[in-house]
A = this chain, B = another copy of it.
Amino acid sequence: MTTIRSVAEEAGVSIASVSRVINGLAARGDTEERVWKAIKALDYQPNSAARALKVRRSEQICLSFDDLANPAYTMMTRGVGQALSASEYRLVLASAFSSVEEIIKHLKTMGRGFADGLIISPIYGDVRITKLLSNLQIPVVVIGTLPEGINADNVWVDSSAGVEAAIVHLKHVGRKKIAFLNGPLSTNPGRRRLAAFHNALASNNLQSLSENVFQADAFSPDSAYQTISSSKNLSTFDSIICANDQLAAGLMKYCSQNQIEIPSDLAVIGIDNTDLSSLLRPTLTTIDLHAEERGALAAQLMLQRLADPTRPIQKIVVEPTLVIRESTEEK
């Protein structure tokens, strides 16, 4: 193994000089030159564990969320990864595959100092998670709604405004009987989007028809398909907003199999603007929540906080964008 000692020997200087050269501190020209030469010759790489132990920084940032299967999180991961790739920090992934217990396990190990910061998108409102987060000794950036009592940098998107815009749009293209296909109510997005739906109906003077909420038990196409298949009142509505594109895709599959024409029989709107939305037939009108951008913003917040721990807490609000495609064209 090639350590800082071997380099020092090779270059004929002390280890202190090698360390200084590496960390860009003052050194005489020829010393510097010899050190770099030795480093190249031996292909020396500072040991990150020793360095971390000494400087108390791991140069790693942990990204934690609930389910990598959800494309929205994939997009976020890309944003974070891209923003971090230019920095000195590595990205450690801690996806929990939809289990609160796993997230808690992860959070507990965060005290070990293997990460300098945590970016987390906590979709379950579990109090244990909140408690662990608030006890954390490293900076936290939350993507999504900030849990009660947590004071952290935050990237937030007003999904309610997106749902509102969707309903305004539906009204504008002449739809009045609007339904909502929701994901699990055990999640923050599920609860928030449903509430937004009801509020938006009211604020637009639209009737809230009975049984206008279809409740899927996961944010997945299959779950949407099951839910819709087993409920018999879809034909009551002329339009439906889905809590994400995956749900919309599952719904559209059901429609195409049951001779329900989109958009003539039923207008459909999704959320997230995933790749899916422009590839489905018809193409899907959707609320872009800018997941990738939010990931990048969260990473930037983290880098800034790491660079200056004293700066005031920041909250960045991202505005949703309604992307209009074929699935809501006028009849």
Contact = CB atoms under 8 A, between A and B. Distances in A.
Interface of A: 43, 45-50, 52-53, 58, 60, 68-69, 71, 74, 77-78, 81-82, 85, 90-97, 102, 108-109, 111-114, 221, 246, 249-250, 252-253, 256, 275-276, 278-281
A47 B43 contact: no
- Number of identical protomers: 2
Given A93-B91, A93-B92, A249-B279, A85 B112 contact: no
A81 B68 contact: yes
A253 B281 CA distance: 8
B275 A221 contact: yes
Contacts of A50: 49, 53
A275 B46 CA distance: 43
A250 to B, nearest CB: 8
Contacts of A221: 275, 278-279
10 contacts: A46-B112, A47-B113, A48-B113, A48-B114, A49-B53, A78-B95, A81-B93, A81-B95, A81-B97, A221-B278
Given A97-B85, A278-B253, A91 B90 contact: no
Contacts of A82: 97
A258 to B, nearest CB: 13
Contact of A68 (B69, B78, B249, B252): B78
A112 B81 contact: no
Contact of A92 (B90, B95, B97, B109): B90
